[in-house]
Amino acid sequence: MSGFTEIIQKDLDQLEASIDELMSTRVTYIKEIVTYIIKSGGKRVRPVLVMLCSKLCGYRGKKHIPYAAIIEFIHTATLLHDDVVDNAKTRRGLSTVNTVWGNEPSVLVGDFLYSRSFELMSRDGNNEIQKTISQVTTALSEGEILEIVKTADTETTENDYYEIIGNKTAVLFGAACEIGAILGNKSNNERKALKNFGYNLGIAFQLMDDVLDYTSYNDVLGKRVGTDLNEGKVTLPLIYVLENTGDKYKAYIEKVVTKRRITKRDFERVRNIIEKTGGIAYTLAATEDHLDKAKKYLDIFPSSRYKTALLELADYMLKREM
Amino acid sequence: MSGFTEIIQKDLDQLEASIDELMSTRVTYIKEIVTYIIKSGGKRVRPVLVMLCSKLCGYRGKKHIPYAAIIEFIHTATLLHDDVVDNAKTRRGLSTVNTVWGNEPSVLVGDFLYSRSFELMSRDGNNEIQKTISQVTTALSEGEILEIVKTADTETTENDYYEIIGNKTAVLFGAACEIGAILGNKSNNERKALKNFGYNLGIAFQLMDDVLDYTSYNDVLGKRVGTDLNEGKVTLPLIYVLENTGDKYKAYIEKVVTKRRITKRDFERVRNIIEKTGGIAYTLAATEDHLDKAKKYLDIFPSSRYKTALLELADYMLKREM
């Protein structure tokens, strides 16, 4: 990603070996599919968080590597299931697993990754981590379902939106950071602080994702711009317009989000409305707010190069183009 | 199911209350879907096994009830995902969740049930049970994927078949029984015996299912007869024909299993071939063998009404019509 991963580069290299080892199965078909998606250029943001937070908390063992792999497995499982749910065609510039192999393997290989994650955790037997992660995976599914319920709903409020992204994205960031505190045997206070750091970072990450879905380009984002609008996802940039322009655009936006397939012209028109009325600026400001909030949670930790790296990682969120 | 559940009727009543309580979520949509499928007349075979085996092992606590609910949750999650994978229209005589609500909720509510199960287990913190169940859920996904790989493959061997049904069905029966031994603090010897009892019972259960898919009727089975053939599943009755009649029917069977939708005539013709050549009789004999094997594993347990009930449950497998 950037400079802040240099201090854990050796661990990140080991992570790739660990991923290969831990996904092992006698079913070669599973291995093929997992390799395809997990080696397709994911940014490993969540594993980086596990590692930096573990080191921030003085952890000197080796377990942060398999736990980082587990967090990436869970993330990958959600991607596989998301792509079935959204009927997505591309991810990170590559065809999705459901496009190449069909929905069936996407569902089942996702299940394999979830189960393997719990298998690995129960083998290690750290009950605190198990509790944390299993609560989070429940929340992930709840968040995804809330999102479906709110699909194409122009009455979606900011509160609804934050509840959705909190559950579908931020809780996993929170757990990734919390694992560091658990491994480092830190007090409840530090554990909560890292959880909140991760949660707010995750919110910012998703806000930025939702901005980029209107402003980025295909070749940078590795997915088509306008995906959210096409899938009827009413995200903050659009909610801002709906909540702040009376009924001016409501009927039109309603027409677009309920369409099965939007046109390029629809997308450009909605994007122009969002930009003109301040929906992008508003969402970027919300991103910054959450990053500031996240960073403040690190105040209780003494200075260290790991703290610096985490702060840099937070700043990177706003700069990222993918 | 039958007389052998009478001695645990109170526990079975409590199971229903426990299921309601443990599936609780603030997302009403999830509750609606889970209720629909989990209250649709499942036979609760796996929960009955958890309960009878716990009592056989002298367990006197209350935890067998939530664990029975967890096992039913996991089973239900696999049903939800299976129905997406198989694009099934009906189950237990009702429309499937994917038919009523679509694939998206089926995938995500399945994820919710898996995750909630692990959440409940990690709350209780019995590491032995967690290890057992998480290994089993990994195997379940492997079994399902192996089944996909072998779809419409007329070269599927008996070994392939047993590997598939062992993973997709029997391991969960094994785990249900093993939980009883773990809760009852029994030695490794008894734990293994109950695991093997359940495993062989599960194999017999699936063999019978695969027979019934050729011989049962819609209104009894609660699903259309011929489902396996229509989905290209090459099960033991068909494998027997393919392995024992040279090339006589191979080309024809290959044509049928690769069809997108088979006709009634196709089904009846294949069923006649299977019956005539002894494929049904062979599979029924295999069912009996596995039941005998299962029952022998109970030899090490002293006589009790719970043992009697488990033996009766095994005998019921061969008699069941649904």
SS (HEC) of B60-96: CCCCHHHHHHHHHHHHHHHHHHHHHHHCCCEECCEEC
Closest by Cα among A249, A270, A260 to A152 = A260
A130 and B130 within 8 Å at the Cβ level: the answer is yes
SS3 A26: coil
Residues linked to residue B69 through DSSP beta bridges, in sequence order: none
User: Given this model, what pLDDT does residue B221 score?
Assistant: 46
Contacts B27 to A, Cβ<8 Å: 142, 145-146, 149
ipTM above 0.90, yes or no: yes
User: Given this model, what pLDDT does residue A246 score?
Assistant: 86
**Which of A75, A141, A147, A172 to mutate against chain B (most B CBs within 10 Å)?**
A141
| CATH number of the domain to which B114 belongs | 1.10.600.10
Say how many domains are in chain A.
1
Task: Give the Cα separation of A300 and A302 in Å (integer).
Answer: 7
Closest by Cα among B76, B20, B14 to B43 = B76
Contacts A231 to B, Cβ<8 Å: none
Residues linked to residue A91 through DSSP beta bridges, in sequence order: A94
Question: What is the pLDDT averaged over residues A119-126?
Answer: 96
Task: Give the Cα separation of B121 and A90 in Å (integer).
Answer: 36
User: Given this model, what pLDDT does residue A98 score?
Assistant: 87
User: Given this model, what pLDDT does residue B13 score?
Assistant: 96
Residues linked to residue B90 through DSSP beta bridges, in sequence order: B95
Contacts B111 to A, Cβ<8 Å: 81, 110, 114, 137, 140-141, 144
Contacts A107 to B, Cβ<8 Å: 81, 84-85, 107
B297: which DSSP letter? T
Instruction: For residue A115, give the nearest of B104, B138, B146 by CB distance.
Output: B138
For residues A212-226, b (16+ Cβ closer than 10 Å) or e, as one string? bbbbbeeeebebebb
**Which of B84, B134, B136 to mutate against chain A (most A CBs within 10 Å)?**
B134
Nearest CA in chain A to B149: A29
Task: Give the Cα separation of B119 and B73 in Å (integer).
Answer: 12
SS3 A59: coil
User: Given this model, what pLDDT does residue A216 score?
Assistant: 81
pTM above 0.90, yes or no: yes
| Percent of chain A residues topping a pLDDT of 70 | 96
A118 and B118 within 8 Å at the Cβ level: the answer is yes
Is the pLDDT at A321 greater than 80? The verdict is no
Are B204 and B291 in contact, with CB atoms under 8 Å apart? yes
Element (H, E) at A14: helix A9-22
Contacts B73 to A, Cβ<8 Å: none
Contacts B163 to A, Cβ<8 Å: none
Nearest CA in chain B to A114: B138
Instruction: For residue A134, give the nearest of B108, B118, B145 by CB distance.
Output: B118
Tens of pLDDT, residues A201-248:
999 999 999 999 999 865 544 456 788 999 999 999 999 999 999 889
**For residue B1, with 0-12 CB atoms within 10 Å meaning exposed, 13-18 middle and 19 or more buried, which class applies?**
middle
The domain containing residue A281 runs over which residues?
Answer: 3-319
Query: What is the Cα A243 distance to its own chain's centre?
Result: 26
Instruction: For residue B142, give the nearest of A25, A85, A148 by CB distance.
Output: A25
**DSSP character string of A160-228:** HHHHHHIIIIIHHHHHHHHHHHHHTT--HHHHHHHHHHHHHHHHHHHHHHHHHHHH--HHHHSS-TTHH
A107 and B84 within 8 Å at the Cβ level: the answer is yes
Question: What is the pLDDT averaged over residues A277-288?
Answer: 97
**Contacts with B86 (C-beta within 8 Å, 6 or more apart), sequence order:** B227, B231
Are A81 and A34 in contact, with CB atoms under 8 Å apart? no
B137 and A131 within 8 Å at the Cβ level: the answer is no
Q: Which residues of A touch B (CB under 8 A)?
A: 25-27, 29-30, 81, 84-85, 103-105, 107-112, 114-116, 118-119, 121-123, 125, 127, 130-131, 134-135, 137-138, 140-142, 144-146, 148-149
Structure tokens at A106: 């996407």
Query: What is the Cα B285 distance to its own chain's centre?
Result: 19
Q: B98 phi and psi, to 5 degrees?
A: -65, -30
Are A208 and A317 in contact, with CB atoms under 8 Å apart? yes
Structure tokens at A281: 């600026």
Q: B120 phi and psi, to 5 degrees?
A: -65, -40
- Please name the residue that has the structure tokens 């605190």: A128
Nearest CA in chain A to B138: A115
State the nearest Cα–Cα gap between A13 and chain B, in angstroms.
26
B145 and A105 within 8 Å at the Cβ level: the answer is yes
A130 and B122 within 8 Å at the Cβ level: the answer is yes
Closest by Cα among A73, A67, A190, A194 to A129 = A67
Instruction: pLDDT band for A84, please (50, 70, 90 cuts).
Output: confident
Residues of chain B with pLDDT under 50: 220-222
B321: which DSSP letter? -
Tens of pLDDT, residues B67-98:
999 999 999 999 999 888 777 788 877 888 88
**Which of A25, A75, A118 to mutate against chain B (most B CBs within 10 Å)?**
A118
A115 and B114 within 8 Å at the Cβ level: the answer is yes
Task: Give the Cα separation of A187 and A169 in Å (integer).
Answer: 25
Torsion over CA: A292, A296, A302, A306 (sign): negative
Instruction: pLDDT band for A3, please (50, 70, 90 cuts).
Output: confident
Nearest CA in chain B to A131: B122
Contacts B164 to A, Cβ<8 Å: none
The amino acid occupying position A49 is L
Closest by Cα among A75, A30, A130, A78 to B108 = A78
User: Given this model, what pLDDT does residue A223 score?
Assistant: 53
Distance between terminal CA atoms of chain A?
10
A140 and B107 within 8 Å at the Cβ level: the answer is no
User: Given this model, what pLDDT does residue A1 score?
Assistant: 62
Contacts A80 to B, Cβ<8 Å: none
Lowest pLDDT segment from A137-141, A307-311, B215-219: B215-219
